């Protein structure tokens, strides 16, 4: 079991309630904007506390309302790629990739897998949208996460850059074996990448 999530939370005017349990691979949350997909990711990451329920990833319980378990984000060992890449503008790509990394040794292999080795000395402002997104994914991988959260990783990309990022996620899915929970509103992306689809 990769993800075992049963959460209920009031976020502003919206009442979010979702339950799913999925196996290995990529679990994709699909649904229109505003249904709470990103809020669910934030609950799994520990950035938003559910009102009730539980969050388990693999064998670890990250949140359990009934027993008072609520691990802080830094103890959840999550690699989170937000809708915006959120790179540090004052750090070159290499430094961005290694931010939070416990070990620099995997840098070369990770950069090669994502085809960003030629970008290491560049500044974030000089990157295309697709390049910046791949650097953000690389930074998440290099943090040695137990699982990945991807929030609309192809949003605002042109078709060529979108295809590049899709291929990268497929490679991560097939080579790293990390559990991945991803949000998208695009049914075609979900069908292409998902091992399990959860509709909201």
Which tens digit of pLDDT belongs to each residue from 75-99?
Answer: 999 999 998 889 999 999 999 999 9
Please provide the average confidence, as pLDDT, over all residues in the chain.
Answer: 94
Residue with tokens 């319980």, as numbered in its chain: 61
Distance CA 142, CA 198 (A): 27
Distance CA 80, CA 174 (A): 19
3.40.50.300, 3.30.70.60, 3.30.460.20, 3.40.50.10070: CATH of 23-47+72-199: 3.40.50.300
| Closest of 158, 108, 109 to residue 133, by C-alpha | 158
What single-letter DSSP state applies at residue 1?
-
Whether the pLDDT of residue 13 is over 90: the answer is no
Domain spans in the chain, listed from the N-terminal domain onward = 23-47+72-199
| Bridge partners, residue 7, by sequence | 18, 53
Which tens digit of pLDDT belongs to each residue from 33-43?
Answer: 889 999 999 99
| Closest of 150, 146, 142 to residue 189, by C-alpha | 150
Tell me the backbone φ, ψ of residue 28, rounded to 5 degrees: -115, 125
pTM attached to this predicted model: 0.93
The terminus-to-terminus CA distance of the chain in angstroms comes to 21
């Amino acid at each position: 079991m990769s993800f075992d999530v049963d959460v209920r939370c009031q976020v502003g005017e919206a009442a979010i309630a979702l339950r799913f349990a999925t196996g290995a691979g990529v679990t994709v949350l699909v649904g229109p904007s505003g249904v709470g997909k990103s809020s669910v990711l934030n609950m799994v990451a520990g950035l938003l506390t559910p009102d009730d329920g539980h969050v388990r990833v693999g064998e670890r319980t990250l949140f359990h309302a009934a027993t008072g378990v609520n691990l802080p984000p830094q103890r959840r060992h999550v690699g989170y790629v937000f809708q915006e890449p959120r790179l540090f503008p004052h750090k070159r790509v290499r430094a961005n990739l290694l931010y939070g990394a416990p070990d620099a040794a995997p840098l070369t292999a990770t950069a090669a897998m994502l085809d960003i080795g030629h970008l290491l000395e560049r500044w974030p402002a000089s990157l295309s949208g697709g390049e910046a997104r791949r650097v953000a994914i690389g930074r998440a991988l290099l943090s040695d996460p137990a699982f990945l959260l991807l929030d609309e990783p192809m949003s605002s990309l042109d078709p060529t850059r979108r295809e590049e990022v899709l291929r990268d996620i497929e490679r991560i899915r097939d080579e790293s074996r990390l559990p991945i929970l991803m949000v998208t509103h695009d049914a075609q992306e979900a069908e292409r990448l998902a091992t399990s689809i959860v509709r909201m």
